[in-house]
Structure 1
Amino acid sequence: MLHHGDCLQVLPTLPEASVDLVVTSPPYNLGINYRSFDDTAGRGEFIEWCKAWAAELKRVLVDEGSFFLNVGASPANPLLPHQIVLAFTEGPEPLFVLQNTFHWIKSITVETRGGEQISAGHFKPINSKRFVNDCHEYVFHLSKRGDVPVDRRGAGVPYQDKSNIARWGHTGGVDRRCRGNTWFIPYDTIQSRDKERPHPASFPVGLVEQCIRIHGKGEETRLLDPFLGIGTSAVAAQRMGVKEFTGIELDDYYLSVARERLAPPKEEQPGLF
């Protein structure tokens, strides 16, 4: 179900404890040029706004649910992600507990054993004498009590050294290990940003898929994204066949793009044969 409107108006209409998983990326308050949102509010005002919708997320989330919050920073505002998560987790009555912190790696350079340097991924270059290129964002895993089980292997990777499968008893003979908290998930290569990614701050489908995997409920997941944008989380839900998806988007154009992305290809639509 896709809703057009302000999340602070739509979220209160959703039933209590009706969502298993929240994956979202709110506006960052870094002056990004969104179509229908002023991303230049004062920091205190912005944090209070974040706490308002986070309180609604807590209400609609089941007790064993997970909330994955993707937040980026800018070199001139490096503390913003931490200020948001502290606002959610501190105080006499904190909204959430920070259970895991993941680092979404957009671009990386690694050196092989042979000494070759290999660069992979995409990032927005920074032209500065003070700062280096920013090639990562945070994904904070929040929960109500900090004790939600996660499917470490479901979101894991095969062993590079296969002898470890038999060497370590905890493997149970399964060629799968915990991936850890660094996720290299590059953007898909596109030809035209205006046509293929008409949103200033979208994340890849693979990022949401990884959150669905690690939450571990598979197709039974009831997923919510209160800042839908152009529908990336909805596309991930569709690909993974989740039971129920709810998305909320303020901008009518972004919502129309989301609906287009979810529509079946023309050759699969009825009446075209």
Structure 2
Amino acid sequence: MPAETIDVIVTSPPYNIGLSYRTYADRREEEDYLDWMMEVAASLRRVMRPDGSFFLNISGSSAQPWLPFELVVRMRELFVLQNHITWVKSISVGEESFGHFKPMNSQRYLHRGHEHLLHFTLDGDVLLDRLNAGVPYQDKSNIARRGHRQDRRCRGDTWFIPYETVRGRSEKFDHPGTFPVALPEQCIRLHGRKKAKVLDPFMGTGTTLLAAQRMGCSGVGIDIDEDYVAIARRRLVEDWLDKTDQ
């Protein structure tokens, strides 16, 4: 790919925690995994525009909590960590629960209700469209009292984006690591460039490309699994046809 041509990268690589992919063994030696991810990161840095954003969704497991942090420390060689967003997938507020709580059988660990969404840039000074990815004020008096021009404020660095309810892997296209379309949509909104060129080097079933298409952006997706690529193409075509029928 040509250098400095990508505006936004949104991706979720294998976490190296033993997930069941079709064509990839998600259980490398830790040093091997980290070295491999640094090779990937160097390639991503090359294709990013100087004012580009790289959103990396990653998580460890209860038994392997250090791996994401080890990777982040290494990536200081290539990027600036401009924002660290916590993607909340499930949460309990008082006596009420929201989102999907994956069963946890261990008596040692708490339920894992969040993942990391790391916003990397080349120099740490990329201007963002925080209101484009923002939310309305709960207390409308804040609009005039604080001198705001619109009913919109920054979403902050904690994003509650739950999965849609599914009852089996087939509803996730038989992929073990999908994320909701709303996650890459928010990343693209936050970066704030019209008709951005979006890249997902671990495309899976094409969720990032689907988000890009819906937002009027162009997308490039890469995956080693031909079945997932076929699913991604089908999802994009079906979504496009649904849009043109409306």
Q: TM-score, normalised by structure 2?
A: 0.95
> In the TM superposition, what whole-angstrom CA distance separates every residue of 1:222-262 from its partner, at most 9, and x where no partner exists?
000000001111111111111x2100010011111111111
Q: Structure 1: how far apart are the matches of 2:137 and 2:172?
A: 35
Alignment of 1:107-118 (within 5 A): 107-111=90-94, 117-118=95-96
Aligned to 2:154: 178
- 1:228 counterpart (200, 203, 210): 203
> In the TM superposition, what whole-angstrom CA distance separates every residue of 1:184-215 from its partner, at most 9, and x where no partner exists?
00111234421443110111100000000100
- Give the residue type in structure 2 aligned to 1:206: A
Query: How big is the shift at 1:20?
Result: 0.4
Instruction: Work out whether 1:21 is the aligned partner of 2:21.
Output: no
Instruction: Work out whether 1:208 is the aligned partner of 2:184.
Output: yes
Aligned to 1:241: 216
Instruction: Work out whether 1:262 is the aligned partner of 2:236.
Output: yes
Q: Structure 1: how far apart are the matches of 2:231 and 2:166?
A: 16
Instruction: Work out whether 1:168 is the aligned partner of 2:152.
Output: no
Q: Structure 1: how far apart are the matches of 2:223 and 2:234?
A: 14
Q: Structure 1: how far apart are the matches of 2:168 and 2:215?
A: 26
- 1:198 counterpart (174, 190, 207): 174
- 2:106 counterpart (120, 128, 142): 128
Q: CA RMSD in A?
A: 1.7
Query: How big is the shift at 1:79?
Result: 1.1
Q: Kindly name which structure, 1 or 2, has the bigger radius of gyration based on alpha carbons.
A: 1
- Secondary structure at the aligned position of 2:238 is classed as coil
Query: How big is the shift at 1:265?
Result: 6.5
Q: Structure 2: how far apart are the matches of 1:61 and 1:266?
A: 27
Aligned to 1:102: 85
Query: How big is the shift at 1:178?
Result: 0.5
Kindly tell me: are residues 39 and 265 of structure 1, through their superposed partners in 2, closer, same or farther at Cα, counting changes over 3 Å? Answer: closer
Kindly tell me: are residues 266 and 42 of structure 1, through their superposed partners in 2, closer, same or farther at Cα, counting changes over 3 Å? Answer: closer
Aligned to 1:35: 22
Gaps of 5+ in 2: none
- Secondary structure at the aligned position of 1:214 is classed as helix
Gaps of 5+ in 1: 1-13, 112-116
Higher relative contact order (CA 8 A, sep 6+): 1
Moved more, 192-201 or 41-50: 192-201
Aligned to 1:157: 135
- Give the residue type in structure 1 aligned to 2:115: E
> In the TM superposition, what whole-angstrom CA distance separates every residue of 1:26-49 from its partner, at most 9, and x where no partner exists?
011111111111111111110000
Kindly tell me: are residues 17 and 265 of structure 1, through their superposed partners in 2, closer, same or farther at Cα, counting changes over 3 Å? Answer: closer
Q: Structure 2: how far apart are the matches of 1:59 and 1:121?
A: 37
Instruction: Work out whether 1:45 is the aligned partner of 2:32.
Output: yes
- Secondary structure at the aligned position of 2:83 is classed as strand
Query: How big is the shift at 1:266?
Result: 10
Contact kept, 8 Å, 2:200 with 2:208, in 1: the verdict is: yes
- Aligned residue-pair number: 244
Query: How big is the shift at 1:267?
Result: 7.5
Q: Structure 2: how far apart are the matches of 1:267 and 1:152?
A: 31
Kindly tell me: are residues 269 and 120 of structure 1, through their superposed partners in 2, closer, same or farther at Cα, counting changes over 3 Å? Answer: closer
